Amino acid sequence: MPHLAPSRRHVAVIGAGPGGLAAAMQLAAAGARVTVFEKDAVVGGRSRTLETPEGFRFDLGPTFFLYPRILAEIFASCGARLEDEVELVKLDPHYRLQFEGGPTIEATSDVARMEAEIARLNPADAAGLRPWLAENRRKLHAFKPVLERAFGRAADMMGGDMLRALPLLRPHRSLDADLRRHFKDERVRLAFGFQAKYLGMSPFRCPSLFTILSFLEYEHGVFHPIGGCGAVAAAMARVAARLGVAFRLDTPVERIALAAGRAVGVEAGGQRHAADAVVVNADFAHALPRLLPNAARRQWPDKRIAAARYSCSTFMLYLGVAGALPELAHHNVLLAGDYRRNIHQIEQGELPDLPSLYVQHAGVTDPTMAPPGHSSLYVLVPVPNLKHGADWAAEAPRYRALALARLRALGLPDIEARIRCERMVTPQHWQDEFAVGHGATFNLAHDLGQMLVFRPGNRFADVPGVYLVGGGTHPGSGLPVIYEGARITAGLVRQDLGLDALQGAVA
Ligand SMILES: Cc1cc2nc3c(=O)[nH]c(=O)nc-3n(C[C@H](O)[C@H](O)[C@H](O)COP(=O)(O)OP(=O)(O)OC[C@H]3O[C@@H](n4cnc5c(N)ncnc54)[C@H](O)[C@@H]3O)c2cc1C
């Protein structure tokens, strides 16, 4: 379009989850006119904070806020300061790990204290901590460039950064096998490997690359945003609105409008909204088959999306309870006595009979989460996704009872009598209410066959003008990674729409 005067390009963003919000902010800052279409009445997606009429607040999904640096850089690129918008509290200890019927670990970034924690489990393993940290520092340094750029073509796998990182990739080694080089005690390995669950995977199958997850915690800390992770999404929406982003809440997009095979806008509420680019933040597995016709998706037809491998799901209880809970830390992880069996059952599609679980008691750090004299409890049980076909209408009451019974192992025998309000989210709810494909809460699995160039690309190759952000695209799921992915996607949109040149011309 060489003869057109510089005009504002319009970008439609489908979904106001963390990926959509991060992309919207950056594209507005780059001079685009941006409209965010969100099917729900609130922003944040899986990262919203639930609020009850009684005054309880619960994070719906994410509770571990890691590596804020990426989001801080995105805020800065939009003329804002993350620390002015959200209060982030660094947790110490990060969390308490309870080995069922046995000892606990209070995980901390204080290396000397952490060595003492490991030594309580196995004195010989304490010496493994510093070499493990040093190795992972090198690993993260090597992989950072790979996680910060797009992978659109096979040739992208041959970049110099990939070749430098490859020797550290050890593709055939699982996360647990990699940890065995440093720690002999299975419980110690679990303390550094259970984080595979953040990706909905098993440490016994998850690629060894992901030791960088627990490394990020030890090196950079675990944070709690005051008001919950939803406060971060709200801050992003605020900054975006200041930059002129228009939010259309309660407005599900029905389809992406195509002309001559190219995206030219979106259709929502019976209206067509023209756009120069469409950024899809809605869950890949759920949304793509609905938003684009099968015939338009040569690389990602319905068949391939259906056959892809997906993360586990989660069974959730959000409990507003009377009284304080001094028994709990802010984050509590109960590792089932037979952790391997627990994971094996999930992989086989069975509901675990004695599950591990994670409980957040944010009130330890943040009094805004519950009314005075009360506590908000977030209970997460990893379970198979819906591809395995559990009937949650039938299973939910039994599983609720099981989850409550499991709280006993964390020292909470009488919680049911103290419940004042309650909400349950099953894999079926994740799919039907929150539009998460197969209820797979952590998106497409992060095995090496579904990463980098094998994951749906940030620039969606099947349909020009369509871009992806969120856990279903490169680099993957988890908030810092999703923000980084949104930065990659925003860069591609800027490039393709010539936004930088247009801004220069306007200036
Ligand atoms: C239980 C749970 C725990 C997690 N814990 C952590 C954690 O501790 N730390 C961490 O870093 N990550 C965690 N995650 C993973 C991840 O960070 C979050 O799931 C994150 O919210 C995913 O962001 P996203 O950008 O991919 O999209 P989403 O949050 O899924 O947002 C997508 C948005 O698109 C909207 N949408 C869908 N379809 C349409 C449509 N047709 N039209 C318009 N809008 C539409 C949805 O309503 C939603 O708002 C957790 C996830 C879950 C579910």
Tell me how far apart the alpha carbons of residues 240 and 398 are, in angstroms, rounded to a whole number. Answer: 43
CATH number of the domain enclosing 82: 3.50.50.60
314 C-alpha to center of ligand 1: Å?
13
Confidence of residue 156 (pLDDT cuts 50, 70, 90): confident
From the CA of 47, give the closest atom in ligand 1.
21
Q: Using an 8 Å Cβ cutoff, are 283 and 437 in contact?
A: yes
| 3 part of a folded domain | no
From the CA of 251, give the closest atom in ligand 1.
43
Tell me how far apart the alpha carbons of residues 462 and 440 are, in angstroms, rounded to a whole number. Answer: 23
Predicted local confidence at residue 1, as pLDDT: 37
Angle, helices 129-147 vs 211-220, to 10°: value is 110
17 C-alpha to center of ligand 1: Å?
5
Average confidence (pLDDT) over 94-122: 96
Confidence of residue 80 (pLDDT cuts 50, 70, 90): very high
From the CA of 63, give the closest atom in ligand 1.
8
Angle, helices 69-77 vs 18-29, to 10°: value is 30
Q: Is the pLDDT of residue 77 over 60?
A: yes
**pTM score of the predicted model:** 0.95
Predicted local confidence at residue 480, as pLDDT: 95
101 C-alpha to center of ligand 1: Å?
34
477 C-alpha to center of ligand 1: Å?
9
From the CA of 436, give the closest atom in ligand 1.
30
Which protein residue's CA is at the shortest distance from atom 15 of ligand 1? Answer: 478
Predicted local confidence at residue 4, as pLDDT: 39
Predicted local confidence at residue 260, as pLDDT: 96
| 424 part of a folded domain | yes
Same domain, 84 and 231: yes
Same domain, 395 and 376: yes
Same domain, 321 and 467: no
Which protein residue's CA is at the shortest distance from atom 27 of ligand 1? Answer: 17
- The predicted-structure confidence for 385-426, as pLDDT tens digits, reads as follows 999 989 999 999 999 999 999 999 999 988 999 999 999 999
Tell me how far apart the alpha carbons of residues 383 and 317 are, in angstroms, rounded to a whole number. Answer: 13
Average confidence (pLDDT) over 462-486: 96
189 C-alpha to center of ligand 1: Å?
29
Predicted local confidence at residue 148, as pLDDT: 87
| 101 part of a folded domain | no
Lateral strand order in the sheet of 271-274? 253-259, 262-268, 271-274
For residue 163, give the H/E element and its range.
helix 160-169
- The predicted-structure confidence for 239-289, as pLDDT tens digits, reads as follows 999 999 999 999 999 999 999 999 999 999 899 999 999 999 999 999 999
Sign of CA dihedral 173, 313, 320, 336: negative
Same domain, 151 and 196: yes
Which protein residue's CA is at the shortest distance from atom 5 of ligand 1? Answer: 62
95 phi and psi angles, rounded to 5 deg: -165, 165
Same domain, 430 and 393: yes
Q: Is the pLDDT of residue 346 over 50?
A: yes
Which protein residue's CA is at the shortest distance from atom 24 of ligand 1? Answer: 470
Which protein residue's CA is at the shortest distance from atom 45 of ligand 1? Answer: 15
Average confidence (pLDDT) over 311-315: 96
60 C-alpha to center of ligand 1: Å?
9
- The predicted-structure confidence for 14-31, as pLDDT tens digits, reads as follows 999 999 999 999 999 999
- The predicted-structure confidence for 240-251, as pLDDT tens digits, reads as follows 999 999 999 999
45 C-alpha to center of ligand 1: Å?
5
440 C-alpha to center of ligand 1: Å?
11
Which protein residue's CA is at the shortest distance from atom 16 of ligand 1? Answer: 478
Q: Using an 8 Å Cβ cutoff, are 453 and 416 in contact?
A: no
Same domain, 478 and 427: no
Average confidence (pLDDT) over 469-493: 96
Predicted local confidence at residue 447, as pLDDT: 87
| 95 part of a folded domain | no
Same domain, 316 and 400: yes
Which protein residue's CA is at the shortest distance from atom 50 of ligand 1? Answer: 62
Residue finishing a domain among 196, 220, 244: 220
Which protein residue's CA is at the shortest distance from atom 18 of ligand 1? Answer: 46
Q: Is the pLDDT of residue 477 over 70?
A: yes
| 1 part of a folded domain | no
Q: Is the pLDDT of residue 3 over 70?
A: no
Instruction: Tally the domains of the chain.
Output: 3
From the CA of 20, give the closest atom in ligand 1.
25
Same domain, 428 and 339: yes
Q: Using an 8 Å Cβ cutoff, are 76 and 239 in contact?
A: no
441 C-alpha to center of ligand 1: Å?
8
Of 21-25, 197-201, 307-311, 429-433, the least confident: 197-201
Structural domain span for residue 139? 110-220
Same domain, 65 and 211: no
435 C-alpha to center of ligand 1: Å?
9
Same domain, 153 and 211: yes
Q: What percentage of residues in the chain have a pLDDT greater than 90?
A: 84
Of 13-22, 184-193, 206-215, the least confident: 206-215
Confidence of residue 157 (pLDDT cuts 50, 70, 90): confident
Same domain, 324 and 420: yes
Lateral strand order in the sheet of 277-280? 246-248, 33-37, 10-14, 277-280, 466-468
124 C-alpha to center of ligand 1: Å?
41
Which protein residue's CA is at the shortest distance from atom 12 of ligand 1? Answer: 478
Residue finishing a domain among 419, 437, 455: 437
Which of 479, 481, 489 should be mutated for ligand 1, with most atoms under 8 A from CB?
479
Residue finishing a domain among 197, 220, 243: 220
| 345 part of a folded domain | yes
Pocket of ligand 1 (CB under 6 A): 14-19, 37-40, 45-47, 61-64, 66, 198, 252-253, 281-283, 287, 314, 380, 435, 441-442, 470-471, 477-479, 482
Which of 74, 281, 379, 423 should be mutated for ligand 1, with most atoms under 8 A from CB?
281
47 C-alpha to center of ligand 1: Å?
6
CATH number of the domain enclosing 393: 3.30.70
Same domain, 243 and 187: no
| 454 part of a folded domain | yes
From the CA of 60, give the closest atom in ligand 1.
1
Q: Is the pLDDT of residue 506 over 70?
A: no
| 99 part of a folded domain | no
The pLDDT mean for the chain works out to 94
From the CA of 19, give the closest atom in ligand 1.
25
Lateral strand order in the sheet of 95-99? 104-107, 95-99, 331-335, 357-360, 374-383, 313-322, 419-425
